[in-house]
Structure 1
């Protein structure tokens, strides 16, 4: 592994269209938004903090805002910003039904009946469901404010209470 924490021959690149990091294998030409298997996540996180730095007013380099990684589960309702998902073309559940549903999922997670990744793959209304709810690394001002505030308040491994955004109701688990 290199100082990026990535397994050989993977490298880190920046997407021109999304202005965010992605992972590229120059041998196979495969690209991924999420780090490839066997990545040293601590080394990758430190590399990203060190590499993505910006000059401050003194002209010295300082790390850019810290990046965190979370997995989440989203339950939309008919008043959501975009009331459709990979699971349902037209979401018709009420806010109250969505509230009951997300609290049921919160209880399952707290009781240890299931983990957030498995539950998100089956139940989340977000397209991240296919990745177990993993949203990858992000920094401040990249997510809806209530989501961002809740995510940055968590310690790695910690699960949030229900968070409401314009998209619906979320459960968030910080992973890095």
Structure 2
């Protein structure tokens, strides 16, 4: 297996780098790595490699501190992922296609869990934010201290591939003929292709920016209690029943306190971990080969 770097002699493999790059490519650019521009590819490459070097440094610090994820916890984590496949054979076939042996994957899971344990231990060093800090942030960013407008809705989805579009449109049209507010939950359970069908199509409350544009535009303009017109999205065709709407409102300091406390701890945690990893790196032997 090709090695792209070594951290105190511990190899960082090409497979690890490729997998991490795919994650960053999707998060940052909503593309696969082979769809990135030259500049985007270099940016994602650099970030992924730095992440893996930091991960190796933290894992080694964990071992030095006697912190290691238990085999039981590793097996639990693996089994949770395997459960997402039809069977174990499909899972291991996917690993093999990605160039990973079961042993390599087991080691990766153990290292990830150990890094998480060590990071959590390091974060215990953070002091709790002071009340004065929380109040200062609350006053500094009044535009962010709001609970946004939200919609509570149910929907029925008829999934459609491009070659099935007309069939799907006919099907959603037939459902619409029966779709009253009173019958909507039953129809969603019987006909919707969305996992939310089990809950009668209930999507709960959501704010703008959480759904695709066409779905969101329809949901936020519909009146509660009415089944809207058919809406097309990349997922297929939808019927939407808006159950409730809540307007945007300003949060009190008490309501915003938990959010602000978490924000301050997260911000301080990022700085703490960066400084710690930088310190670890000054005492480490890091070799980069490509």
How would you bin the TM-score normalised by the shorter chain? 0.5 to 0.7
Look up the match of 1:151: 219
Report whether the alignment pairs 1:75 with 2:158: yes
CA–CA distance in structure 1, aligned partners of residues 183 and 233 of structure 2: 22
- Paired with 1:129 and 1:121, the residues of 2 have a C-alpha distance of 5
Deviations 1:86-123 (A, max 9, x none): xxxxxxx710000000011111115x8x6111001010
Query: Does 2:202 align with 1:123?
Result: no
Gaps of 5+ in 1: 1-53, 80-92
> TM-score, length-normalised on structure 2?
0.34
Alignment equivalent of 1:103, drawn from 156, 173, 177: 173
Decide whether aligned partners of structure 1 residues 56 and 77 sit closer, same or farther in structure 2, where only a CA change above 3 A counts.
Answer: farther
| RMSD of Structure 2 on Structure 1 (CA) | 2.4
Q: TM-score, normalised by structure 1?
A: 0.56
- Distance in 2, Cα, partners of 1:144 & 1:98: 19
Alignment correspondent of 1:165:
233
Q: Evaluate the alpha carbon distance shift between residue 171 and residue 60 of structure 1 in structure 2; reply closer, same or farther with a 3 A threshold.
A: closer
> Counterparts of 2:171 and 2:187 in 1: how far apart (Å)?
12
1:59 paired with 2:142, answer yes
Distance in 1 of aligned mates of 2:197 and 2:164: 21
Report the CA distance shift for 1:140/1:57 in structure 2 as closer, same or farther (over 3 A): farther
Please point out which of 210, 219, 243 is paired with 1:175: 243
Q: Which residue matches 1:140? A: 208
Aligned residue pairs, count:
108
Q: Structure 1 residues 107 and 142, CA, compared in 2 at 3 Å: closer, same or farther?
A: same
Cα shift readout 1:44-76 (whole Å, capped 9, x = no counterpart): xxxxxxxxxx96876377533211110000001
CA contact (8 A) 2:138 2:145 kept: yes
Q: Distance in 2 between matches of 1:55 and 1:100?
A: 51
- Contact 2:161–2:236 at 8 Å: present in 1 too? no
Structure with the higher fraction of residues in strand conformation: 1
Structure 2 Cα separation of the partners of residues 146 and 131 of structure 1: 23
**Greater Rg by CA:** 2
Greater share of residues in helix: 2
In structure 2, the CA distance between the partners of 1:122 and 1:62, relative to structure 1 (3 Å rule), is same
Moved over 2 A (4+): 54-64
